């Protein structure tokens, strides 16, 4: 077997409905079960205030990184299948949701497809994405050649959930 074409990917995970921590752990298990995914690492879980309407529960966010042989669109489809399997609900725009899985980075690729923009267009504006990424790997380089570390944001209301990160 050749060992070509494994790309390193970063995926953001978020939930604020139906036992968010369970949602993220279950998504992690689904990802790990794919033969086209290996070497998955998951960040700590972080609680954050909702970006968007404030009359919704706080979010639990995490990121994971892994290597995959799936191309970006097949990976997107796989992530969407996990969201749907876990009964994804999206009740309103910028509102509460059961599970969100977003491709943040895919190797060094820049993609501007109708269904998919890589790097994720909002990732650098979201502390709940940037901090978990830096926790897993402090030396991440963006496709622009800049370090992620140089883009750090105020942590605002981000709270690392210690007890479940043991
Ligand atoms: N807010 C937080 N804190 N975390 C999220 O993952 C998140 N996801 C979203 C919106 C509704 C924009 N707000 C969020 O999709």
| pLDDT score recorded for residue 4 | 66
pLDDT the model gives residue 9: 98
What amino acid positions are annotated as catalytic residues?
88, 97, 100, 102
CA of 1 from ligand 1 middle (Å) equals 41
Helix or strand run (H / E) with residue 111: strand 111-113
What number does the ligand 1 atom closest to the CA of 61 have?
Answer: 6
Helix (H, G, I), strand (E, B) or coil at 157: coil
Q: How far apart are CA 95 and CA 138, in angstroms?
A: 31
Question: What does 47-71 look like in DSSP terms, one character per residue?
Answer: EEPPSS-SSSPPEEEEEEEEEE-S-
> Residue 95 C-alpha to ligand 1 middle, in angstroms?
8
Q: Which one of 16, 92, 132 would you pick to mutate in the ligand 1 pocket, going by the greatest count of ligand atoms within 8 A of its CB?
A: 16
Overall average pLDDT of the 108-122 stretch: 97
Q: Provide the total of helices (H) and of strands (E) in the chain, helices listed first.
A: 3, 8
Nearest protein CA to atom 13 of ligand 1, as residue = 51
The CA 50 to ligand 1 mean position distance, Å, reads: 5
Q: Which helix H or strand E contains 12, and what residues bound it? A: strand 7-15
Question: Residue of the nearest CA to atom 3 in ligand 1?
Answer: 50
C-alpha span between 135 and 133 (Å, rounded): 5
pLDDT in tens, 33-89: 999 999 999 999 999 999 999 999 999 999 999 999 999 999 999 999 999 999 877
Q: What is the pTM of this model?
A: 0.95
Rounded to the nearest whole angstrom, what is the distance from the C-alpha of residue 142 to the centroid of ligand 1? 22
Q: Is the pLDDT of residue 161 over 60?
A: yes
Q: What is the pLDDT of residue 158?
A: 95
pLDDT at 1: 57
């Amino acid at each position: 077997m050749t060992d070509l074409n494994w790309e390193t990917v970063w995926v953001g995970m978020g939930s604020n409905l139906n036992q968010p921590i369970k949602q993220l752990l279950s998504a992690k298990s689904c990802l790990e079960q794919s033969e086209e995914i290996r070497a998955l690492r998951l960040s700590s879980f972080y609680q954050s205030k909702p970006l968007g309407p404030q009359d919704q529960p706080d979010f639990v966010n995490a990121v994971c990184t892994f290597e995959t042989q799936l191309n970006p669109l097949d990976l997107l489809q796989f992530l969407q299948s996990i969201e749907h399997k876990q009964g994804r609900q999206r009740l309103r725009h910028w509102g509460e949701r059961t599970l969100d899985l977003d491709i943040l980075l895919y190797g060094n690729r820049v993609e501007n497809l109708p269904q998919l923009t890589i790097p994720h267009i909002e990732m650098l504006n979201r502390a709940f994405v940037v901090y978990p990424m830096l926790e897993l790997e402090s030396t991440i380089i963006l496709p622009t050649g800049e370090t992620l570390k140089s883009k750090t944001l105020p942590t605002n209301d981000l709270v690392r959930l210690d007890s479940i990160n043991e």
